[in-house]
A = this chain, B = another copy of it.
Amino acid sequence: MNAGAKEQIVTPWEVKGNIDYDKLINEFGLEKIDMKFVLDEYEKGNKFFLYTGRAPSGHTHLGHLIPWMFTKWLQDKFDTELWFQFPDEEKFLFKKDLEYEKVQEMVYENMLDVIALGFNPKKTHFLIDTKHAGIMYPEAIKVAKKITFSTVKSAFGFGNEQNIGAIFYTAMQAVPAFLPNILEKNKKPRPCLIPHAIDQDPHFRVSRDVIPKLGYYKPASIQCRFLPGLAGIESDGKMSSSSGDNSTIFTIDNAKTVKKKINKYAFSGGRETVEEHRRLGGIPEIDVSYQWLTFFEEDDKKLKKIYDDYKSGTLLSGELKAILITKLNTFLSAHQKKREKAKDKLDDFIYKC
């Protein structure tokens, strides 16, 4: 999962053998104390719960799936509760022209993708900010009372022209990190582990200071690196649906679209001519197709062989792209079937107040 982790590739699907906590902590760039705390508590029988989320504004793309798949892996391995937030006000408040109704459609579409990944319906609870405001807002104000405009100004770079909903919003994002302790008062207070993409870090840096003041455990974070956009690692580093459909593969894209997008837009680390490629070899470090395979190919040996073959010039760019296309379309074909079935499962996942 970590950008510098070429030798040890940890995919969201599986990790073989015993988990090397110290190595993971180091690679994820976490403060050691926090992750250690959560795991120590776990070993003492004080199981953490997981919290992650998705701020809906458009269709789910493959980049969104990375931290969710990692979260599912954590849920499976540790057999934990997961609170999955859909803050349907966030993008609405931060994007001038985004309409409330559009966001509501996307909440639905995004929920299908989350369910399709196979989270345990008995242990997974969706919180949709506007639908669950009745249980979230009373807690958000307690968080909000302890955060000044100065703090969010520096954490998020807000100016005075920022709207007051966006200013308040971080308080809503803090709530699921302790809400389960309130909803299940009969249980012992439990720590919270938050797997999230690195762009959410400012929210959790703010809330990690506040939550202990309210009498709950300081939440621990695991941050994921971004799946690069098709246009390449150097151009933006994050796949974004707002930077155009062609830099993004959506979970609803069909096989033909995937093939076209990869062949046409995936930045290549190959050489100008076949002859030159055979002689000099490709550059996997800048090749988006290879980089994507580091996320989607779970077999370390296969991945190593692809790297070596591409680097040596044995594997051509078109062949590398073909490997990725097959990989993605196999995955998406299965995902889309599960996504259809998810339409009947929403009720099992949306938290009932």
Contacts and interface: CB of A to CB of B under 8 A. Distances in A.
A167 interface: yes
A148 B129 CA distance: 21
B160 A153 contact: yes
Interface residues of A, number: 40
A165 B141 contact: yes
Interface in A98-150: 100, 129-134, 136-138, 140-150
Contacts of A134: 131-134, 353
A200 B152 CA distance: 27
A287 interface: no
User: This chain: how many copies in the complex?
Assistant: 2
Interface of A: 89, 92-93, 100, 129-134, 136-138, 140-150, 152-153, 158-168, 170-171, 353
A162 B141 contact: no
A162 B148 contact: yes
Given A164-B171, A165-B168, A93 B138 contact: no
A141 B130 contact: yes
A133 B144 contact: no
A147 B137 CA distance: 19
21 contacts: A92-B141, A130-B138, A132-B134, A133-B133, A133-B134, A133-B138, A140-B165, A141-B165, A143-B165, A144-B164, A144-B165, A145-B163, A147-B164, A147-B165, A148-B164, A149-B158, A149-B159, A149-B160, A164-B170, A165-B168, A165-B171
Given A130-B138, A146-B163, A152-B164, 8 more contacts: A93-B145, A130-B137, A140-B165, A144-B165, A147-B164, A148-B161, A150-B160, A153-B160
A278 to B, nearest CB: 57
A153 B160 CA distance: 9
Contacts of A153: 160
Contact of A167 (B136, B140, B159, B164): B164
A28 to B, nearest CB: 29
